[in-house]
Amino acid sequence: MKALDLIIIFGYLIGIVAFGTWFGRKQQTTKDYFLGDRSVPWWAVAFSIVATETSTITFISVPGIAFARGGNFQFLQLVFGYLLGRIVISLLFIPSYFRGDLLTVYQLLDRRFGGKIKMLAASLFVVMRNIADGIRLLLTAIVLAAVYVSFQPTANVEVITIASIILIGVAMLVFTYFGGMEAVIWVEVVQLGIYIAGAIAAMVVLINSIDGGFSGANQLAFQFGKFNLFDFSLDLTKTYTFWSGLLGGCFLTMSTHGTDQYIVQRYLCTDRPRRAIIALLTSGGIVLTQFIGFLFIGVLLFAFYHPFTDTGYASAASTAFPFTGGDRVFPDFITQHLPTGLSGLVVAAIFAAAMSSSLNAIAATAVNDLYKPFKPDRDDKHYLKVSHILTLVWGIVQIGVALVARHSAGSALSQALSIASLINGPVLGVFLVGTFLRRVSQPPALIGMITSIAAMLYVFLFTRLAWTWYVLLGSLITFVVAWLASFAFSPAPISMQDELAPAAATED
């Protein structure tokens, strides 16, 4: 990597800070700050959803899945579940979000069950999202530190990593603090363009570097089974099967895109349910195309580094295969083989994939679901001021999480991210309870959620169940336990029973 690459990378960081500050001129109310005054076009929301669910892991690890020994396209089975989940959300949840003047998805739980369920779900979101995005910040900072060390090999890696955490954390904090949700969405639109451009650039260079080009890579891919797509195994310990992908991926998306403020807040930035639905379904098509593209980059990398004949590939020890884990292969190609300028663009693309800020969504949840119930009579200017303060606080918290997490082993980081995903099932489950079990009131719903959280911790710690089943199982436990417990309690008041019932989307 050369000086031009470093200029591109830091130019990107400076650009997003300036972008957010410019948007800050428009933020006059909490509705402006959290929802962009509901005036964001549906296509920008669609691009923002894609950018939000794309991370550094997507950019680096998905190519590694297809590249690795025995790797193929079976990851797409999970993406098919993502598409099915989007259809269910469009029919089941989105119409309800536009009944009333919602600022957070958890306000629906308050209307349906009461304040305790809302505060539990909101608190879980705030805690787990800060942990997950603090670790995400660390992973991004490690990339920036590695880039800097490539220029200054004698630099102290520990010090550079700390400085990178602070630099990137402050950049995200500034554009979110000043610009609000509308700035976050438009920055994510730009980020999507950057990392798609970076991926395409890498793909073009790879094709031109492979003997036989595109057709040569495809021939090798078919020869080694890289395009194998379906696995109909019923083994619940296998991560990517047709059943775990379609069913597990569907429930995972219903949770992350249907009941999580991080994504739902983007729907609420449009002015009507139909546009939110179009944005969500459009994002699904883009995500499918994106994952096919990243997997194909893995195929191209396999052809670029291809060291074996058929017999040698089948019999080679794992240590003989380059980049055994898969994750190292794309970063190595970026830093060692891309031309000057393109290398900087692709590293900036990795930052773009990693820097989707959750700070505004966390602040919206903290203010509206955890602060307002105790200070209900203040004016909107007060809540806007508190929103800015909490955005600052959560930004500092995420920087702190990243600084602490750098002392943890890699496995500990993976476990922290996995534990964060365990709350998705219980939260989705309570939304499904509110939608389909009219008689269930707040006490049995709480019992269902708490039981599910405990059960999923046991599953995570003591079983080999593939993580793709976690959300389905967690939501099922919540649903069944809440239904059984409901017979020991009085039914929910009639006035609350239909708050989560599906409703026809209207233009109003």
CATH for 3-19+38-310+335-496 is 1.20.1730.10
- pLDDT of 6 reads 75
Residues in the chain, total: 508
Q: How many CA atoms lie within 13 A of 149 on its CB side?
A: 16
pLDDT tens, position by position, 141-162: 877 787 777 777 888 888 988 9
- pLDDT of 411 reads 43
For all residues of the chain together, what is the average pLDDT? 84
- 3-class state of residue 456 by DSSP: helix
Question: Other CB atoms closer than 10 Å to residue 503's CB: what's the count?
Answer: 14
- pLDDT of 356 reads 61
> Which of 264, 294, 328, 216 shows the shortest CA–CA distance to 93?
264
Q: What's this model's pTM, rounded to 2 decimal places? A: 0.85
Q: Which residues contact 506 (CB under 8 A, 6 or more apart)?
A: 98, 272, 273
Report the distance separating Cα 253 and Cα 311, nearest Å: 41
Q: Using DSSP, how many helices (H) and how many strands (E) does the chain show? A: 23, 0
- pLDDT of 471 reads 92
42-53 and 157-209 helices, crossing angle to 10°: 110
239 pLDDT tier (thresholds 50, 70, 90):
confident
Sign of CA dihedral 481, 486, 492, 497: positive
Question: Other CB atoms closer than 10 Å to residue 143's CB: what's the count?
Answer: 21
Report the distance separating Cα 453 and Cα 334, nearest Å: 41
- 3-class state of residue 381 by DSSP: helix
Task: For residue 260, give the DSSP letter.
Answer: -
Comparing 93-97, 262-266, 368-372, 500-504, which segment has the lowest mean pLDDT? 500-504
pLDDT for 253 beyond 50: yes
pLDDT tens, position by position, 217-226: 998 889 888 9
Rg of the chain (C-alpha set): 23
> Which of 280, 288, 248, 247 shows the shortest CA–CA distance to 97?
280
Query: Is the CB of residue 405 less than 8 Å from the CB of residue 138?
Result: yes
> Which of 122, 166, 170, 132 shows the shortest CA–CA distance to 52?
132
pLDDT tens, position by position, 277-294: 999 999 999 999 999 999
Comparing 425-434, 457-466, 475-484, 489-498, which segment has the lowest mean pLDDT? 489-498
106 pLDDT tier (thresholds 50, 70, 90):
very high
